[in-house]
Structure 1
């Protein structure tokens, strides 16, 4: 029994010495290729490397000099990374970490460059000042001419997008005297409203001149058969009125076509009034509006807003392949985009948003005192009757063409919370009835 115990102790001691020798020999073989002073001898791989599967080798060009282990020269580092030598583990780990960081950087969005805030005096809007410098359009505008007055004020948007146009006391061939007034409300920039304000009135005059020349040629051809009558019959007057309405429609469509040919974005709404031979012709596209003020103080709307919420406009749009939807704010829009269903421009919304105007004709009488033509910045906050009442009250002690009545309406809409551009024009109709 005693001999058995001694035998087991001596066997355990022998195994311990053998394990110590194997462990010491393995570490020596591992460090020998790295730190051996001779580079001609072939390095011996460590036992643990012989048992592991082959790993991806790192090209020597990818190893930086500062990544080599301490005590190893550059030549030894290249020798370690040769195909016959063991792979250096530390640079591979660093390279994997660098690749991981690069992948994370590629997935990260670029850092935003936020400019410093604009230094300005208290109470000054830096965005409004920049918009005025960019567009050269005044924040407030007053105008007064023969038979009309106007006041305009920019809203909180980045640029003023309202405009107007006036042609007074123009004689066309044949002896007809006419006057043209228009208020325009642009959207998507000033390109459309500037173009329409410059071209529409001229196109209306040109279309009327062409229609007048054609009518005169027809009358001359009738002279050969019978002498002309002293006065126009009701039928001839009606025919002449229809000719003027057709000329106005043609002028609207021509202006729209000319603007679209330029390939410029944006659009514009309009409300215009033409006075010719004692007749008042009012046309509109969009939500600009014209309201007649009578001697009794009664307001008579002469236009109907072209909005996507109108039942007849919805049917027209759907019949042409478009659609109308109502958003969460309760505003109806064409193709989920535009709130008006008729306007100049808006090339991407054709043919659903057309420029075909609605035109009405009215014979002027002494009861017709003035006409209020304004953009939707006024009508969204002020009713038609309130507008007529304000102009009538302002005209009690002065002429109805006084610019004070327009400024009062602009201030009224702004005080009620209108944030849109506001343009108000008042036309004196008494000068055409006297």
Structure 2
């Protein structure tokens, strides 16, 4: 049970608020009254660690955001309130001291009373809102162009076990005050239940933002945070008898660098100047290096409708899956790439998409969609999900497209390249995507 996940629902019932926001970092912003009164009746929250308390920022940001506050402002408010709570004496909230195995050593930490801590946080959040209504601190929006299209469906499965995170206000949420833009995106594909995916979507980015190397070595921070999140969830899973797991892929844009990390078969790809660029190799049992690692640990890889670890899971690395450790590894792979400005968009998706749609098909589908919508890319992910379903995917499908350039510019470049090819005497027949542009342009 996560503090702010339930606080969000409860506060929607008991809190009334009026929010008036002028959306411009230069204009005057009247936050209005976010909280007129706090909930009087609270659920008996479970004891939580300080890590869990910090990780619930995102859920609470959603609560503030749903009251009409811009994400940039909501993240700044939440960070300030959480930071002030953490700087107070938390002795009165301590309830239990426990040990957790982490990176080969026993780690001792304290569990806190969730109900009292929740009351303290919301009181401080209310105070911050009132203070900022009088004088709003400067807010710095992203300098880089980013446009996100997201779509997810349960499809024919009984439950929806995919989760995703979009965090373009990463700096504000973690109080990073330098002049470097940061944005975070992730997709988690759960199996055996949704607990691991929920937990990862709530905690992974917080582990990244609080990592000691986030400023100097963001690639290391991103990769290590997968291992940290796995350790945290395994501790929770053992205490609460949870058996679920989740694959995951995340992308962290830091200035002109793209950092990615992944576990399992959720994937990220890049499209640059109309060409699909492979960035990673998913973790599957049939990979020779993965099979060798599993067998060296005493496990096995067998074929049962597909290659599986110990006859069960079709992925070789994941967060969770406590009963399959260490064969199912929580050690993520990662990589970094320079962004030159010629990149069109980034795409993150679960295996429900990539098992049905090839990377080169993505380019054609997105360009066709942009032609039909005259360069409006907000529903590009919906078009891709529909294509995966049409191609026979029965799994949960989540697709997240991050446009790194204006979709209208991408479309204009496509049309210009088409005309250039036609003008050349020795030009070969253009690929399908150019033909699609030409056909749509003449209609």
Scaled to the shorter chain, the TM-score interval is 0.5 to 0.7
Selected match of 1:259 from 212, 217, 233: 233
The answer to whether the Cα contact below 8 Å between 1:401 and 1:427 also exists between their aligned partners in 2 is no
Cα offset for 1:395?
A: 2.8
Superposed counterparts of 1:310-329, under 5 Å: 310-327=287-304, 329=305
> Secondary structure at the residue paired with 1:395?
helix
1:207-246 matches, within 5 Å, as 207=211, 210-211=212-213, 240=216, 243-246=217-220
Q: Any gaps of 5 or more consecutive residues in structure 2?
A: 1-70, 72-145, 407-443
Q: How far off is 1:211 after superposition?
A: 1.8
Native 8 Å contact 1:284 1:357 kept in 2: yes
2:190 alignment counterpart: 186
- Give the superposition deviation at 1:318: 1.2
Corresponding residue for residue 260 of structure 2: 282
2: CA distance, partners of 1:404 / 1:192: 28
**1:271 aligned to 2:246?**
no
Task: State which of 180, 188, 205 in structure 2 corresponds to 1:201.
Answer: 205
Q: In 2, distance between residues paired with 1:212 and 1:348?
A: 32
Aligned to 1:37: none
* Aligned partner of 1:378 among 353, 359, 368: 353
What number of residue pairs does the alignment pair up? 255
Partner SS for 2:163: strand
Are 1:337 and 2:337 matched, yes or no? no
Q: Hey, what's the Cα distance between the residues in 2 that align with 1:424 and 1:200? A: 19
Work out whether residues 401 and 426 of structure 1, in 8 Å CA contact, stay in contact via their aligned partners in 2. no
Query: Is the CA contact (8 Å cut-off) linking 2:270 and 2:279 kept in structure 1?
Result: yes
Tell me how far apart the structure 2 counterparts of residues 401 and 178 of structure 1 sit (CA, whole Å): 24
Report how far residue 415 of structure 1 moved: 1.3
2:324 aligned with 1:356 = no
SS at match of 1:381: coil
Alpha-carbon distance in structure 2 between the residues aligned to 1:260 and 1:173: 33
1:249 matches 2:223: yes
Question: Does the 8 A contact of 2:186 with 2:249 survive in 1?
Answer: yes
Deviation of 1:352 after TM superposition, in Å, equals: 1.0
Larger radius of gyration: 1
Partner in structure 2 of residue 150 of structure 1: 150
User: What whole-Å deviation, never above 9, does each CA across 1:320-350 have from its counterpart, x for those lacking one?
Assistant: 22111112x2x11111111100001000111
CA contact (8 A) 1:176 1:277 kept: yes
Match status 1:413 vs 2:388: yes
C-alpha distance after superposition, 1:31-75 (max 9, x if no partner): xxxxxxxxxxxxxxxxxxxxxxxxxxxxxxxxxxxxxxxxxxxxx
Question: 2:283 — aligned with what?
Answer: 306
Write the distance in 2 (CA, Å) between the matches of 1:400 and 1:189.
Answer: 38
> Where do 1:48-59 residues align within 5 Å?
none
| Shift in CA distance, 361/179, structure 1 to aligned 2, threshold 3 Å | same
**Once the 2 structures are TM-superposed, how far is the Cα of residue 394 of structure 1 from its aligned partner?**
2.0
The alignment's TM-score, normalised by the length of structure 1, stands at 0.56
C-alpha RMSD of the superposition = 2.0
1:425 aligns with 2:400: yes
- Normalized against structure 2, the TM-score is what? 0.55
SS of 1:403's equivalent in the other structure is: coil
C-alpha distance in 1 between matches for 2:375 and 2:339: 17
8 Å contact kept, 1:149–1:401: no
Provide the C-alpha distance between the structure 2 equivalents of 1:319 and 1:401, rounded to a whole number of angstroms: 51
Task: Provide the residue aligned with 1:220 in structure 2.
Answer: none
Q: Counterpart of 1:228?
A: none
Deviation at 1:373, TM superposition (A): 0.7
Kept in 2: contact 1:166–1:201 (CA 8 A): no
User: What do residues 356-406 of structure 1 show as CA deviations (whole Å, max 9, x unaligned)?
Assistant: 111111100121110111111111111011012211332346587723211
Q: Give yes or no for contact 1:289–1:376 (8 Å, CA) kept in 2.
A: yes
- In 2, Cα distance between equivalents of 1:370 and 1:212: 24
Please say if residues 387 and 409 of structure 1, whose CA atoms lie closer than 8 Å, have aligned partners that are also in contact. Answer: yes
Compare 394-403 and 348-357 and name the one that shifted more: 394-403
Aligned partners of 2:232 and 2:358: how far apart in 1?
34
Change (3 A) 1:400 1:358: farther
Does the Cα contact within 8 Å between 2:148 and 2:403 map onto a contact in 1? yes
CA displacement 1:90-143 (0-9 Å, x = unmatched) = xxxxxxxxxxxxxxxxxxxxxxxxxxxxxxxxxxxxxxxxxxxxxxxxxxxxxx
CA–CA separation in structure 2 for the residues paired with 1:324 and 1:184: 24
